[in-house]
Structure 1
Amino acid sequence: MLTLLSAIIFILAPVALAQQSAWGQCSGDSYTQTGFDPSGAIPSLANPIGNPPFPGFTATGGANWVGFGTTTFNKSKIFTYNYAYGGATIDANLVAPYTPTVISLTQQVDQFLTTVANKPPSTPWTSANSLFSVFIGINDIGNSYYLSGDRAAFSDTLLNAEFALVEKLVPRNFLFVNVPPIDRSPLVRTLPDNHARLAEKTVIQGFNSKLAAKIAAFKANHTGVETYTWDSSATFTRILDSPTTYGFRDATTFGDGTGIFWGNNYHPSSQAHQIFAQDVATVLQSTIW
């Protein structure tokens, strides 16, 4: 199984093994990032995420959902090309990231199109054994929900930009991830203005509803395309509503250690990501991933 949080690309490559192989391409933000450098070592049997050494550079240390999906919760030997970058937005011209050096989803897709999209001998993927995952929107909303103007209309603008990029992609299998309830993160919960938290919650819910409609339309308009959706919002809500059921002490503590859902005040821990990866595997249970 391969998936991404925010925007990321992964590919699974077939090799001469008893176990079936596949490619995964991921795009996204810090919820998905592993620190992959497209100009560095490519995914291999020794390191299925290519570079840096597994589990990579993740937001809170330890494997994230992409790492667990690549190495543990899957049905194939998976090689993952993860273009996700911390702080990424869909298009920096629409929502500026926290710093200009952040690689947006637009740039991540360009990285893919100018490298392994050309199917070099080192990465002989096919449409049948490759999966493209997109997990994006956290920073687009977090950096704009409080601005004036019609936020619902702006969500349409963001999603139109995202799916214009998706249209450029070669793989025929897509995994989409919606935006989790970031309004329940320790960072947002401590905002002095509760109206801000509620405003972000409203924008997230509207964005996710529109994303579901865009996914359905994309599939309907493309014969042969398969789409899968991991409802990260539902997963987060299920765990945060009953944290002890899933091995966590509560829904608000953050930091290092076992039994803590939030690895820092905005990002889930590796322990939480393990559950995310299991949920993604369930979404992909009918596939080779």
Structure 2
Amino acid sequence: MTRLSIISLALLSASTVVSATNYWFSFGDSYTQTGFDPTLALPNTANPFGNPDFPGWTATGGVNWVGYVTKTYNNSVLYTYNYAYGGATIDAALVTPYQPTVKSLTDQVNQFLTGAGKKPAATPWTSSNSLFSIWIGINDIGNSYYNSGDRGAFSDTLLNAQFALVQKLYDTGARNFLFVNVPPIDRSPLMLAQAASAQTAEKTVISGFNTRLTAKVDSFKSNHTGVKTWIFDSNAQFTQILNSPTTYGFKDATSYGSAANQFWGNDYHPSTYAHKFFGQTVQTLLKGTIW
């Protein structure tokens, strides 16, 4: 499995090579959401997001990593079906989201399975021209790390639920998977306002979850024919930037706002300027593929 162990954050220029249309089916939470509604306009040449207008409804106040990859950092015409929903957990029955209307990863995958997953004429994706990405776990951990009981065992429960959904995607023909681990949200301004003990507890749970995620990805690839997997180590990239923010043009690692020198756009979400680095890293990770 290809893994981004040492992240290069050098600025990359957009590729000018254009190949056939490819399809990106994206799942996740507010770090990924763009407000896509699969019952409205589908991705097209005029708007590769389909709906809403680019860059969509994001938590960054601007383009997020999905937007950067879709429009700039790729090697193809890319139609992006972004089912991600702000506040999402893997399964609302395991970790309750902040509102009952939030579409969990389970809900998002079911949306895909009952729509584009049937490979309708309007969305002619194939196993070879499609990428499936999942960035989830931020809210699962943020809403539960402080609970009693074996947190490692609970991470296993969460990941078992996630990979049961990955299996469903595989069964429809998905073969190319990009997984994103949980970033150090213990270092977000929201958590920095909490006690140090809370930050330490959350960091420990994140570390255990990410280790288990890597093992799950390895196992899934080993036990499924024709699968290609990539892991975007967002935790390592966040850590690298937050440890030396001025190196990347940010004023510090703790404040937030709308200025171009802010890593955090608000107290829990990276800014659009930070997301540009994430998009560049995903391009580097997938370099040499159709993406």
1:11 maps to none
1:125 maps to 125
- 1:21 Cα deviation after fit: 1.9
Query: Which residue among 242, 250, 253 is the counterpart of 1:251?
Result: 253
SS in 2 for 1:26: strand
Q: Structure 2: how far apart are the matches of 1:82 and 1:228?
A: 18
Query: Which residue among 182, 185, 192 is the counterpart of 2:185?
Result: 182
Q: How does 1:129-208 map to 2 (within 5 A)?
A: 129-169=129-169, 170-191=173-194, 193-208=195-210
Q: Structure 1: how far apart are the matches of 2:249 and 2:55?
A: 22
Q: How does 1:104-123 map to 2 (within 5 A)?
A: 104-123=104-123
Q: Structure 2: how far apart are the matches of 1:113 and 1:184?
A: 36
Q: Structure 2: how far apart are the matches of 1:60 and 1:164?
A: 30
- 1:19 Cα deviation after fit: 3.1
SS in 1 for 2:199: helix
2:244 maps to 242
- 1:194 Cα deviation after fit: 1.1
Tell me the percent identity: 66
Which letter maps to 1:102?
A: V
Which runs of 5 or more residues in structure 2 are unaligned?
1-16
SS in 1 for 2:168: coil
Q: Is the 8 A contact 2:69 2:279 kept in 1?
A: yes
Which letter maps to 1:163?
A: F
- 1:78 Cα deviation after fit: 0.2
Q: Structure 2: how far apart are the matches of 1:28 and 1:55?
A: 17
Q: Are 1:71 and 2:71 matched, yes or no?
A: yes
Q: Is the 8 A contact 2:256 2:265 kept in 1?
A: yes
Q: Are 1:227 and 2:229 matched, yes or no?
A: yes
Q: Structure 2: how far apart are the matches of 1:147 and 1:19?
A: 49
Q: Are 1:82 and 2:82 matched, yes or no?
A: yes
Aligned pair in 2 of structure 1 residues 18, 233: CA closer, same or farther (>3 Å)? closer
Which letter maps to 2:182?
A: V
Q: Structure 2: how far apart are the matches of 1:80 and 1:171?
A: 15
Which letter maps to 1:64?
A: N
Residues 133-172 of structure 1, C-alpha deviations (whole Å, 9 max, x = no match): 0000000000000000000000000000000000000310
Q: Structure 2: how far apart are the matches of 1:178 and 1:144?
A: 17
Q: Is the 8 A contact 2:18 2:77 kept in 1?
A: no
Q: Structure 1: how far apart are the matches of 2:75 and 2:288?
A: 10
- 1:97 Cα deviation after fit: 0.2
**C-alpha RMSD of matched pairs (Å):** 1.0
Q: Structure 2: how far apart are the matches of 1:279 and 1:58?
A: 19
Q: Structure 2: how far apart are the matches of 1:60 and 1:31?
A: 8
Which runs of 5 or more residues in structure 1 are unaligned?
1-16
- 1:60 Cα deviation after fit: 2.0
Which letter maps to 1:268?
A: P
2:14 maps to none
SS in 1 for 2:50: coil
- 1:18 Cα deviation after fit: 5.8
2:214 maps to 212
Q: Is the 8 A contact 1:20 1:75 kept in 2?
A: no
1:12 maps to none
1:31 maps to 31
